[in-house]
Chains A and B, each alone.
Chain A
Amino acid sequence: MTQLECLPTRMPRQFGQWWAGLRQQYFPTRGATLINLLLGVLSLAGLGAALDWGIFSAAWLPGGPEICAAHSGACWAFLWEKWQVILLGAFPRNAMWRPLLGVGVVVIVLVTLARLRWPARTSIVMLAVAFAGLFALLDGRPLGLEQVEMVRWHGIAVVTFLGVFSLFAAFPVGILLALMRVDGPPLLSWLATGYVEVVRAVPLVTVLFFGVFVLPLLLPPSLKYPPLLVTLLALILFNAAYFAEDIRGGLQAVPRGQYQAAESLGLGYLARIRCIILPQAISVAIPALTNTIIGAFKDTSLVAMVGIFDLLATTRMAFSDPVWQRQAPEGLVIVGLLYLGACWAIARHSRTMERHVAGWLGNGR
């Protein structure tokens, strides 16, 4: 009935509906109208000020710090001057194409896999290749290029290296921990519970300090451990505990009947878990996993505290240059926008994945 009425939508009617909707939303009562108008004016003023700062009164062209004094708004000359420092820190200038290409390859692989909805085997192979490729490009030796020491890997190279690959390596560990905790024999279940609870009770910063200061002491003394690799290990161990908790929730949401049905089909334990239980558990856990992934990706920025130059640390490096000290807001705004964009993309993709799995989750019930 209502659908039929709505179907022939002509311009005046649509406008009328639009106006009615607008009135209902913004001007329901006299008081709300007044406050809405007041706030509207205020937010327009705020938006105007922001635009004025970022665009109209900004110094757009490259130049020295003296150009900033001439403009009242943002000084994008800072970015012209320092974009290499912000993106790549102290990576050798003549080899800048290497991290940029490596990060580009990783991003393309991630987007492709997201489009393909993460087919398990392809994902493992492609991510391993991407990781090896990034490592080879950054290090240089495997490709016969000039070596760049790991301590000079900065900026987006570090964010990609740590943020992306710590998450992917932690995922299988998290699955293993969750399985151990939920239906492992008592000893394994107890061990996994202890590990997950202890790791979740301490701050990431202390785990990173543990990685940098204590982990090298626990490993054989004959080898050298660059801080970046040790940090990667610490991040993997840390994120695995959080993943384990999310997947455990998913495992507990899989109905008992699914386990019994799989068993009655005569499937072995691994086949049961791999083909029947895990797909459902991970699908249920997508919202929780998304929260963890976004949180962990953001928290990669904490590696700056143990002396690793991630994007935030390189930005700080850029605006701690005495002549550009006033340009801190510009740098922070740019980094913030990069993080906002990345996290927004993850959140959007998670909604796509939720719709994607809704089909088989609905059938399972």
Chain B
Amino acid sequence: MKAQISGPTLSPRRLLATRNARRIALQALVLSGLVLLAFLLLRNLLQNLHAAGMAVDFSFLLNESGFDVNESLIPYSSKDTYLAALTVGLLNTLHLTVVCVICASAIGLAIEWIRHSEIKLLRLYCRLYIDSMRNLPKLLILLAIYVLLVMDLPVARNALSFFDVAYLSNRGLNLPALTLHKPHIDDPALATSAALYSGAVLFFWFLLRHCLVSRFLRLALPVCLLVAGLAFITGMIRVDLPRFSGFNFRGGSAISLQFFSLAVALSLYHGAQIAEVVRAGFKAVPNGQDEAGRALGLGRLQIFWLVVLPQALRVMIPPLTNQYLNLLKNTSIGLAVGYSDLVSVMNTSINQTFRPVELMLVTMSVYLVVGILASACLNVFNRRMQLKGGQG
């Protein structure tokens, strides 16, 4: 009896008779295949690098980079390390992403608002805008904007002036900036006006108590007003206007043409996609909510801000998260117009050191980590916005 069973057990047919056995066999097969593949790839990599007289080594990141970048948020020169250069690139990428997220969200909301207007032609324009953005490559949009700006903008001397506050020329956009100074509080006139202003803000705070705004805003709005106003009155923060003198603009903050065209192109491109997300969000809020708000005697803005938007946001946040992450990834087209983002700095570094493996690993993991962090934060926000158990 025993011999009869042990005989056929050895045949593979019998071994793989059950579903479970087949699953385990398949996993083992795939795992061994992958290990073999990884081994082969690594062996090839080491052989190839060895043939070129190199090895995987990250210590070059601390060497002097020797190249300059167009724009940087932190002090950087060509004498700094590759690591510093990559940090500059990352900060530029994040800077562009934040600006684009704000602008694209504003465009998306504005488009949704226009779509509800009773003016048919405006709605047609929105349709046209969204369809053309959905069907054109972002690189084409970026190139078109950049080329047109470079071709048609005047030189710095004849820059387009916006009320003598901001200037647009073929060198970029010059905006007023806020600068920090030492406050002077010894002037009695200043002290009086500061006290008067504080009183006014206090009165505003009392007024706000009777308005239907969230508890957070009720506290945050007056505090912000107070701090900002006092800083301006005491001269701690001053507005620094750009002025043309000599051959270039002095003062203010300069935004390069590359950054400007990238911000415009990506905001337009993603604004259209965010508009679709926003539309789906507002569609998910039943009409009864609007009517209930009106029945309670709320104003249009209050209905939008307090009734409809919070409910729409619940539906919108997951796809919006996706859009924002896409935006972060799409800033990598900055290389096409020579904006020093992370990919562009990586490209320059690869060309200089020919260490693609290390640099690609660093860059991809940076994108991975930033993406995971951003989505984790937005997920926390999402969880806070969703209905809690008891309230539903």
Contacts and interface: CB of A to CB of B under 8 A. Distances in A.
B78 interface: no
B139 A302 contact: yes
Interface string A284-319: 000000000010001111101100000010001001
A132 interface: no
A204 B41 CA distance: 22
Given A332-B147, A336-B144, A301 B44 contact: no
Main secondary structure of the interface of A (DSSP, over half): helix
A218 B34 CA distance: 14
A339 B333 contact: no
B367 A201 contact: yes
A216 B344 CA distance: 21
Given A32-B119, A39-B122, A332 B144 contact: yes
Contacts of B47: 221
SS class, residues of chain B in contact with chain A: helix
Nearest to B38: A218
B51 A29 contact: no
B368 A198 contact: yes
Interface stretch (A1-9, A61-69, A118-126, A340-348): A340-348
Interface string B349-392: 01000001100100110011001100000000000000000000
By size class, the interface of chain B is 35 or more
Given A206-B332, A336-B140, A336-B144, A221 B48 contact: yes
B17 interface: no
B46 to A, nearest CB: 9
Interface string B320-340: 000001000110110110000
A32 B122 CA distance: 10
Interface of A: 25-26, 28-29, 32, 35-36, 39-40, 43, 185-188, 191, 198, 201-206, 209-210, 213-214, 216-221, 294, 298-302, 304-305, 312, 316, 319, 325-326, 328-329, 332, 335-336, 339-340, 343-344, 347
Contacts of B246: none
Nearest to A185: B23
B140 A301 contact: yes
Interface in B22-60: 23-24, 26-27, 30-31, 34, 41, 44-45, 47-49, 51
Contact of A206 (B31, B137, B144, B363): B363
Interface stretch (B128-136, B207-215, B236-244): B128-136
22 contacts: A36-B119, A39-B125, A43-B121, A185-B23, A186-B27, A187-B31, A188-B26, A201-B329, A203-B330, A205-B343, A206-B346, A210-B364, A219-B44, A221-B48, A298-B138, A299-B138, A301-B137, A304-B336, A329-B144, A329-B147, A332-B140, A347-B135
Interface in B178-230: none
B119 A203 contact: no
A304 B364 CA distance: 20
Interface in B69-93: none
Contacts of B151: 325-326, 328
- Pick the 9 closest A-B CB pairs, nearest first: A213-B356, A343-B135, A203-B329, A298-B137, A203-B332, A205-B332, A301-B137, A187-B27, A185-B23
A271 to B, nearest CB: 15
A332 B372 CA distance: 36
Of the listed residues B137, B140, B329, B346, the one surrounded by the most CB atoms of chain A closer than 10 A to its CB is B137
Given A32-B119, A32-B120, A201-B372, 12 more contacts: A26-B120, A39-B121, A202-B371, A203-B329, A204-B329, A206-B332, A206-B360, A312-B143, A329-B144, A332-B144, A336-B144, A343-B134
A187 B143 contact: no
Given A187-B27, A205-B335, A206-B363, A340 B136 contact: yes
Given A217-B357, A298-B136, A339-B136, A202 B118 contact: no
B121 A217 contact: no
A43 B137 CA distance: 25
B347 interface: yes
B148 interface: yes
A210 B47 CA distance: 18
Contacts of B132: 340
B258 to A, nearest CB: 15
A305 B341 CA distance: 14
A185 B360 contact: no
B346 A209 contact: yes
Interface string B99-126: 0000000000000000000111110010
Contacts of A326: 151
A35 B27 contact: no
B333 A202 contact: no
B364 A312 contact: no
B329 A25 contact: no
A218 B120 contact: no
